[in-house]
Amino acid sequence: MSACRAWFGGRLQGADDSFSGSGDAVPPCEDGLVRNCSALAALHPDEATEAVVDAALRLRRPFVVVPCCVFARLFPARTLGGRAVATLPDFREFLRRKHPSIREEILPFAGANVALYASFNDHEDIEHELAQISDKRVTCRVCARREDSGSEVDVAHLAVLQLQSPVLKAMLRSDMQEAKTHCVQVQTEFADVWPNIIRFWYGLPVHVSSFEAAVTLRRVAQYYESDELKAVTVELLMAARPSAARMALVAESLSFEAEFADRAWSYLEAHPRELFASSAWPRLAEATVAELLRRDGVRCREPGLLRALGRWARARRDNAPETGGSGDGQRPGVVVLPEALLQLVRFENMSPSELRSAAKPVLPAERYIELLEEVSGATPSRQKRAVRERPMRPFRCHVCGIEVFVTTESGVPGDVAGDVGIVTADGGPLPECRRYHPGFTWNALACADHKGKCSTCKRCNSARWTCCQMAEGSIGCRRRPHEWHEVGGAQRWWDTALSSKRPRLSK
């Protein structure tokens, strides 16, 4: 447990931030410092009193403050009942009106000893809401049923749903069918996580078992406009380790979150082969695959993209229900890609040999012959689009420290000097790694007079390596292979990931 002292809202002009010359400087209070704390406590915080309360209300953190000085001249905008807040009782009442959960307690010491606190217990909020609503039906329960089968998913109190979701509040207070039957239809993709959502809205601990569940919770928060659930799920997603399968899920499911989608697409553009090898690739929707093909920054050549499209189409064909025969006259074993995706493949940037090896298995015969004539120059090209770059990933050798950029299609560096798939940082050939001797040194011609310890005797300085009989100071007879590791392999897909410390929702 640690205590932090900081300025709320920034340092006040003219304030003494060194505690009268003690050298204990106070840093500005950043959002991350407050967001990651469990509670806020401020005893006689002077000018920062209202800022502490506002921060706790915004982040929904338990807090306790003991107001002392009012500073009416510094904060003339504070009003209570049309008059300026100038006395300590008025200031405490001004703070209490900020939220119905704020309570007052007298502490056992002299002086300014009235504490204002809030634990943000959802049950207290519900009691306040019940007191404000005259309709007695708020105490009833609402049943949630699956949209597809109609089976019951969970049950919650009407007041809880109205407090946590403006969408459900409007639905259950209107003339809609849900308000009459006290039954809410839950989308099929939300049904599995709905019990966890109810637990979260009741203030109970919730364990998020997978990244997929966190994405679904984020979609629920967007659909039902639950701000608190949105804030927590965003932090969980930002702290997750990236992978192509996860980023594909984000790009496909969280397209409404522009910043999430942009970063997910940037990851997929840089790691297309990881995506093609993952189990998520055959399950992607055609619209998502089309969006990937439209992007110029995908680090994969057209033959690799076309082979991946063939695997995608083959998996979809194998999982599709039987239709009683194709009847399309295609060659056996040929998987025909959708025409919308074929239009996005840049065949004009392929060579005839690449077209023959990659495109022939997935194209009709007439289309293949037409493209072959186009890429060979027999017929003019109809359009010219940008050439996609080869994969270029930085690697560094653990032993000698040399850095290279790998441009091979596999994206893995070789260990042969002059490999055309490797480009060094200075553009020169790939040097060899350090050499070494696998044996040990010994002196077969040791001088008996000096016992092998004379620094000037040639016999005493004739130590040899047992592995190659080379002199002791010679270069190694074995070449150590490069030990490569990728440079800049980020653990998280977010530049500054925030770790959630809320006990109610955990990974």
DSSP assignments along 404-468, one per residue: EEE-STT-----STT-TTEEETTSS------EE-SS-EE-TT--TTTTT--SS-TTTT--EETTT
Residues 132-161 as b/e (b if ≥16 CB within 10 A, e otherwise) read eeeeeebeeebebbbeeeeeebbebbbbbb
Within 8 A by CB and 6+ apart from 373, the residues are 379
pTM of the entire structure? 0.54
Q: Both ends of the chain: CA-CA distance in Å?
A: 22
Which H or E element spans position 108?
Answer: none
Query: What whole-number distance in Å separates Cα of residue 193 and Cα of residue 266?
Result: 29
In the prediction, which pLDDT does 60 show? 82
Per the rule left: phi > 0, alpha: psi between -120 and 50, beta: everything else, 161 is: alpha
Pairing of strands 484-486, 114-118: unpaired
- Residue 66: is it exposed, middle or buried by C-beta count within 10 angstroms (0-12/13-18/19+)? buried
Q: Are residues 93 and 167 in the same domain?
A: no
Query: What whole-number distance in Å separates Cα of residue 118 and Cα of residue 57?
Result: 9
How large is the angle between the packed helices 286-294 and 302-319, nearest 10 degrees?
180
For residue 221, the domain's CATH number is 3.30.710.10
Q: Return per-residue pLDDT of the chain as tens, 507 residues.
A: 344 555 555 665 666 555 444 444 555 565 667 777 888 899 888 888 998 998 888 888 889 999 999 988 888 889 888 889 999 999 999 998 888 788 889 888 888 899 999 887 654 555 555 555 445 455 578 888 898 888 888 888 888 888 889 999 888 888 888 888 889 999 888 998 999 899 889 888 888 888 999 999 999 999 999 988 998 888 888 888 888 899 999 999 998 888 889 989 988 988 888 888 888 999 999 999 999 988 888 888 888 888 888 889 888 888 766 555 444 445 455 667 888 888 888 888 888 888 888 877 777 788 888 888 887 777 776 677 777 766 566 778 878 888 777 754 555 565 543 444 566 666 667 788 888 888 877 776 666 666 656 766 766 667 778 888 787 778 888 888 888 777 765 444 554 333 333 344 555
Among 241, 263, 278, where does a domain finish? 241
487 in any annotated domain: no
18 in any annotated domain: no
Number of domains comprising the chain: 2
479 in any annotated domain: no
96 in any annotated domain: yes
Asked if 113 contacts 105 with a C-beta cutoff of 8 angstroms, the reply is no
Q: How far is CA 132 from CA 122, 135, 381, in A?
A: 15, 9, 72
Asked if 424 contacts 395 with a C-beta cutoff of 8 angstroms, the reply is no
Within 8 A by CB and 6+ apart from 136, the residues are none
Within 8 A by CB and 6+ apart from 262, the residues are none
Q: Are residues 59 and 86 in the same domain?
A: yes
Q: Are residues 162 and 105 in the same domain?
A: no
311 in any annotated domain: no
In the prediction, which pLDDT does 179 show? 84
Asked if 169 contacts 219 with a C-beta cutoff of 8 angstroms, the reply is no
Backbone φ and ψ for 419, nearest 5 degrees, come out as -60, 125
Q: For CA atoms 267, 269, 275, 281, give the dihedral sign.
A: positive
Among 60, 93, 120, where does a domain finish? 120
Range of the domain at 79: 31-120
Q: Are residues 228 and 172 in the same domain?
A: yes
159 in any annotated domain: yes
Q: Are residues 166 and 116 in the same domain?
A: no
Residues 209-229 as b/e (b if ≥16 CB within 10 A, e otherwise) read eebebbbbbbbbbeebebebb
Query: Helix H segments across 84-121?
Result: 88-96
Q: Are residues 171 and 204 in the same domain?
A: yes
Q: Are residues 109 and 141 in the same domain?
A: no
Q: Which of 35, 41, 5, 30 is nearest to 499 (CA)?
A: 35
Q: Are residues 168 and 111 in the same domain?
A: no
Among 241, 272, 291, where does a domain finish? 241
197 in any annotated domain: yes
Q: Are residues 232 and 165 in the same domain?
A: yes
Within 8 A by CB and 6+ apart from 134, the residues are none
Q: Which of 223, 38, 288 is nearest to 233 (CA)?
A: 223
99 in any annotated domain: yes
Reduce the DSSP state of residue 366 to 3 states and report it: helix
User: What is the residue-wise DSSP string for 262-317?
Assistant: HHHHHHHHH-HHHHHHSTTGGGS-HHHHHHHHH-TT--S-HHHHHHHHHHHHHHHH
